[in-house]
């Protein structure tokens, strides 16, 4: 399986901050990467597919970049609604695998 590693595991930030979450794959996955947001007690919500394509309805303060083995999710100006856990997921190969998650906390 392709291993996905996110960093940091926890990120403390304030409203208005610019934050970046990193996701690394154990082998090249081209751009076959998705990002999800999960709030406590809820299902994950798809934010970005193919590394940088924003899903319809997702605020433009979210952006994704990268290819190969290193990817980033950036939130340009944190809003109160953004405090959640974020997961990356590779879909280059079966079995699909997720990162361990990055919990974004209010500082």
Partner 1 sequence: QVQLQESGPGLVKPSQTLSLTCSVSGGSVSSGGYYWSWIRQHPGKGLEWIGYISYRGSTYYNPSLNSRGTISQETSKNQFSLRLSSMTAADTAVYYCARRFPVAGYFDYWGQGILVTVSS
Instruction: Identify whether the C-beta of residue 24 lies closer than 8 Å to the C-beta of residue 46.
Output: no
10 Å CB burial of residue 45 (0-12, 13-18, 19+) is middle
Closer Cβ to partner 1, 18 or 50, answer by number: 50
For residue 29, what are its two tokens? 């996955």
Closer Cβ to partner 1, 83 or 101, answer by number: 101
Residues 35-94 that bind partner 1 (CB under 8 A): 36, 42-46, 49-50, 55, 87, 89-92, 94
For residue 33, what are its two tokens? 């990467």
Candidates 11, 32, 83, 84: give the one binding partner 1 (CB under 8 A). 32
Residues 5-24 that bind partner 1 (CB under 8 A): none
In this structure, the number of other CB atoms found within 10 A of the CB of residue 23 comes to: 28
**DSSP, res 26:** S
Applying CB under 8 A, the site for partner 1 has a residue count of: 24
For residue 27, what are its two tokens? 């082998």
Q: How far is the CB of 97 from partner 1 (least distance, A)?
A: 7
Q: In the complex, which residues of this chain contact partner 1 (CB under 8 A)?
A: 32, 34, 36, 42-46, 49-50, 55, 87, 89-92, 94-101
């Amino acid at each position: 399986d392709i291993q996905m590693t996110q960093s940091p595991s926890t990120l403390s930030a304030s409203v208005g901050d610019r934050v970046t979450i990193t996701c690394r794959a154990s082998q090249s996955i081209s751009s076959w990467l998705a990002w999800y947001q999960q709030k406590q007690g809820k299902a994950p919500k798809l934010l970005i597919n193919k590394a940088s394509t924003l899903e319809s309805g997702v605020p433009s303060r979210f952006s994704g970049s990268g290819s190969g083995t290193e990817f980033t999710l950036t939130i340009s100006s944190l809003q109160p609604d953004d405090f959640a856990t974020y997961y990356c997921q590779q879909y280059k190969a079966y079995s699909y695998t997720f990162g361990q998650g990055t919990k974004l906390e209010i500082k």
